[in-house]
Amino acid sequence: GIQVEQSPPDLILQEGANSTLRCNFSDSVNNLQWFHQNPWGQLINLFYIPSGTKQNGRLSATTVATERYSLLYISSSQTTDSGVYFCAAYSGGSNYKLTFGKGTLLTVNP
């Protein structure tokens, strides 16, 4: 099955800083999603982005499907951005399951 790797595993920022999170995947994808898991454990949809670029406020994402990677950009980070960011991908198969990376733990300090 598809392999999903995220980097860096941990990231510590000062409030106001920018950051880039990376997701590499081993196969072509039909679905690629970015999630934020907040400290309460809720998994929040950020982007559905199997290809192209999207923006939502201070967050944006780009997937270059031909090169098998996706990037999540966080600008002007806030303490509420803290948590784990997951990339998940589906590349085919009858069960449509998402394969998750191990996540990036982001800590934003005031």
Residue 40 CA to residue 98 CA, distance in Å, equals: 22
Strands of the chain, DSSP E: 4-7, 10-14, 19-25, 31-37, 43-48, 52-56, 59-64, 69-74, 83-90, 99-100, 104-109
Among 21, 23, 74, 88, binds another protein (CB under 8 A): 88
How many residues bind another protein, per CB under 8 A?
23
Radius of gyration of the chain, Cα coordinates, nearest whole angstrom: 13
Is residue 24 involved in binding another protein (CB under 8 A)? no
Site mask, another protein, residues 47-86, x = CB under 8 A?
-x-x-----------------------------------x
- Beta pairing, strands 19-25 & 10-14: unpaired
- What letter would DSSP give residue 36? E
Is residue 35 involved in binding another protein (CB under 8 A)? yes
Is residue 31 involved in binding another protein (CB under 8 A)? yes
Among 39, 56, 57, 96, binds another protein (CB under 8 A): 96
Applying CB under 8 A, the residues found at the interface with another protein are 29-31, 33, 35, 41-43, 45, 48, 50, 86, 88, 90, 94-100, 102-103
